[in-house]
Amino acid sequence: MKRRNALIAAGAFGVAAAAATPALAEVVDGRGDRPGKDRFVRGADISGLIKNEDYGAVYRRANGRKGDAVEILAENGVNCIRAKVWVDPVDGYNTKDQVVALGKRAKRAGMDLLVDFHYSDAWADPGKQHKPAAWASLSFADLKTAVYEHTAEVLTALRRAGVKPTLVQIGNETNGGLLWPDGRWDQLEQMAELLTAGCEAVADTVPSAKSILHLAEGGDNGAFRWFFDNAVANGVPFEAVGASYYPYWHGELSALGANLNDLATRYGKPLYLVETAYPFTTEDSDGFANIITDPEPVAGFPSSPENQTYWLEQIAAVMRAVPDGLGKGVFWWEATWTGVEGAGWDPADPASGNGWENQALFDFDGRALPGLRTLGRL
């Protein structure tokens, strides 16, 4: 996602709103399954939660009663959290220790964990894949070793804390590769070697976890086929495919469905929509301009709690319809990232704000929105 705060500021993406109106699809109720089983994942990225809490964020159940955000997610049926990890962030957030802390909280609440490795000190996405400062001068051989060791270190810390992730992302939105320039898209063999190093660390450290390769632009079948054909040709031992899909950026819902169906048929691997979101309002709560301000981010669908829920249902139905049961789950991106002064998007700028709070699953008073209950009942 979304590092969109930075991406939009840099002009890396424009908004491509979908104009079609999909019919409301039947959504299967997958409640009642248990952690660790081969179940439909009803996930929430909560990478910003600890920082938000440290700066005073309050979370409430739908009835207004205060509570722990992780527990509120679990009470509503969310069964997996997603947490990103940076190598050496300047503000001290999204570190190994914090991923472990979130993982322990998730386990206590009966939820699984997806670890999202960015292999950077800050946001990594299609517009930027900067090396961590400590890795900047490494030879390529040493860079591969650093990827392996960093991945293994974080996963070992989780395992020792009694937390075994079920899913591990090797890179974040790596449409253009990772760890530029060594692993950029035009260095295919080196890109594959870096991805392989991460996948091998997962297999060696937490063999029960599935390694995911993740791309943005979930409706762009050509981009996915190019990337994954090359990953297969170069022997990357990935076990699952991850996609981001934002309806206002990534094309019509039918394009998402066509892409997912083709990926399932072509590669035969589990598919996860690891990022999606939709606004519940056009307002902002912290004085920092929101990324999505259009009253109708998708034509015919104004920003509202009802349409936030509607799009979640539609996206989940598309995932459920993937052939051979390979559509395995959906994650809402930054479900708990409400607007709190000091908890902005830029780790290097304490004054930065939050351009995403109108797409969280908690409103400006910290109260759980209907979309959270919908997520937990997919």
- Active-site residues, by number, are 173, 275
Grouping H, G, I as helix, E, B as strand and the rest as coil, residue 329 is: strand
Do the Cβ atoms of 15 and 9 come closer than 8 Å?
no
Grouping H, G, I as helix, E, B as strand and the rest as coil, residue 118 is: coil
The answer to whether the Cα torsion of 223, 225, 227, 228 is positive or negative is positive
Q: How far is CA 47 from the centre of its chain?
A: 9
Do the Cβ atoms of 139 and 182 come closer than 8 Å?
no
C-alpha 89/C-alpha 115 separation (Å) is 16
C-alpha 120/C-alpha 150 separation (Å) is 11
HSE-CB of 336 using CA atoms within 13 angstroms: 30
Do the Cβ atoms of 292 and 13 come closer than 8 Å?
no
Q: Of the candidates 307, 301, 332, 336, which has an alpha carbon nearest to the alpha carbon of residue 319?
A: 332
Q: What is the DSSP-derived secondary structure letter of residue 254?
A: H
Dump the DSSP string for 144-203: HHHHHHHHHHHHHHHHHTT---SEEEESSS-TTEETBTTEETT-HHHHHHHHHHHHHHHH
Q: Of the candidates 273, 181, 184, 195, which has an alpha carbon nearest to the alpha carbon of residue 233?
A: 195
Do the Cβ atoms of 229 and 197 come closer than 8 Å?
no
Say which residues have a Cβ less than 8 Å from residue 170's Cβ, sequence separation at least 6: 117, 151, 195, 198, 199, 202, 211, 212, 213, 214, 238
Say which residues have a Cβ less than 8 Å from residue 145's Cβ, sequence separation at least 6: 197
Q: Give φ, ψ of 325 to 5 degrees.
A: 65, 25
